[in-house]
Amino acid sequence: MKKLLLVVLSLMTMMVFTACGSEKTSTSQEDKANSEDKIKIVTSFYPIYIETLNVTKGIDGVVVENMTKPQTGCLHDYQMTPADMKKLENADVFIANGAGMESFLQDVIDNQKNLKVVEAAKGIELLADEHGENPHVWVSVSNCMTQVQTIADELSKLDPEHADAYQKNAKEYIAKLEDLKQDMHNQIDNLPHKDIVTFHEAFPYFAKEFNLNIVGVIEREPGTAPTPSELDEIIAQVNDLQAKALFAEPQYSSTAAKTIANETGAKVYTLDPVVTGENDLDAYIEAMKQNALTLQEALK
């Protein structure tokens, strides 16, 4: 009887563990199926990531991942890594700025035939100078709104099941951006001085929107120090300013700006093109609010 009882208990224990194992396998398979049902969106860099997060906010089954590291900044001459390519291979949609910001974009389009590529700057009139078209369109609040709507429209076509949610989110975020733009105009429009010297070519769209005049640029490309003749030219431009202010960017070294400041007596301030930041839906808005406060202080 004892032996029989032990056999029965052993069989019951095996059944319990087998059932638990089956449940775990079933759950794992269900998780995998659920993962495969998700729409995977990859964004090229930080400002596009923040715009896309706002458009997809709270929508089940939509996953957004940024391709580049948070500290990457602008994608000038960026070289894609194997990790980047793997992210794109597993994505359904790649949302880029376009307008020449991502030099690798055409290679992605050519090599990832099943990947839907969205260029958020599509339809925005580009500013150009002797160096070519300027891709930093998002630094204008108005252009940022256009990009948000473009992202919402393209995702609505790709995923019509959630079209209403994309459009609702876009409408809510654009309303916040409209309020931001109006507040910034109230702070900037009546400043007595409008001439500025910026760090690099990130601010022409911003300057156009808020009627500022960029009279000089310290570095045409980040990391490319001005030549001695360029430095002399910038020093002369700063000496002519009524409000002696230089604007560095938080993402890059301010060494050149400090050198110019030492020669001219100008003060160095910081303007943020919002190419790095926290994983926060309001990060762009908060950075732009700070930019307006900085300009108020510098150009008073």
**Is 9 inside a domain boundary?**
no
Within this chain, do residues 112 and 229 fall inside the same structural domain, yes or no?
no
- Residue 36's pLDDT is 57
Both 177 and 195 in one domain: the answer is no
229 to each of 17, 69, 225, 232, 236, how far by Cα in Å? 79, 35, 11, 5, 11
Tell me the pTM: 0.87
The CATH number of the domain holding residue 104 is 3.40.50.1980
pLDDT on residue 70: 85
Per-residue pLDDT tens for 198-232? 998 999 999 999 999 999 999 877 777 888 898 99
Asked whether residue 2 is domain-assigned, the answer is: no
7/114 Cα distance (integer angstroms) = 57
Residue with the bigger pLDDT between 18 and 165: it is: 165
Please report which confidence band the pLDDT of residue 79 belongs to, taking 50, 70 and 90 as the band edges: very high
Distance from C-alpha of 158 to C-alpha of 93, rounded to nearest angstrom:
9
3-state class (DSSP) for residue 251: coil
CA dihedral sign, ordered 215, 219, 225, 226: negative
Q: Are residues 191 and 265 in the same domain?
A: yes
pLDDT in tens, 34-78: 445 789 999 999 999 999 999 999 999 999 999 999 889 999 889
Q: With respect to residue 112, please indicate whether it lies within any of the assigned structural domains.
A: yes
Residue 8 forms part of a structural domain: no
Do residues 128 and 169 both lie within one domain?
A: yes
> What's the domain range around 153?
37-184
The pLDDT assigned to 77 comes to 86
Is residue 171 domain-shared with residue 276, that is, in the same domain? Answer: no
Q: Has residue 249 been placed in a domain?
A: yes
- Distance between CA atoms of residues 186 and 192, nearest Å: 13
Do 130 and 199 lie in one domain? The reply is no
User: Is the pLDDT reported for residue 100 higher than 60?
Assistant: yes
41 and 178 fall within a common domain: yes
Does residue 141 sit in the same domain as residue 55? yes
In the listed set 130, 150, 184, which residue is the last one of a domain according to the structure? 184
Number of domains in the chain: 2
Q: What is the pLDDT of residue 131?
A: 84
Residue 123, domain member (yes or no): yes
Is there a single domain that holds both residue 205 and residue 151? no
Considering 120, 155, 184, which residue would you say is the last residue of a domain? 184
List of E strands, the chain: 39-43, 62-66, 93-96, 116-119, 128-129, 132-133, 195-198, 213-217, 245-248, 267-270
Q: Specify whether 210 is located in the same domain as 199.
A: yes
Q: Is the pLDDT of residue 177 over 80?
A: yes
Find the range with the poorest average confidence among 6-10, 49-53, 178-182. 6-10
Q: Establish if 80 belongs to a structural domain.
A: yes
Q: Which residue has the higher pLDDT, 21 or 273?
A: 273
pLDDT of residue 140: 98
Specify the pLDDT at position 7: 40
Judgement on whether residues 190 and 89 belong to the same structural domain of the protein? no
Same domain, 174 and 268: no
Question: How far apart, in whole angstroms, are the C-alpha atoms of residue 217 and residue 252?
Answer: 14
- Residue 109 binned pLDDT confidence (cut-offs 50, 70, 90): very high
CA distance 253 to 223: 8
Domain-ending residue, one of 154, 184, 214: 184
pLDDT over threshold 70, residue 27? no
Q: Tokens at residue 141, please?
A: 């609040």
Cα dist from 274 to 50, 203, 278, 296, whole Å: 10, 11, 10, 19
Assigned domain for 25 exists: no
CA–CA distance, 13 with 195 (Å, rounded to integer) = 81
- 236-280 pLDDT, tens per residue? 999 999 999 999 999 988 888 999 999 999 999 999 999 999 999
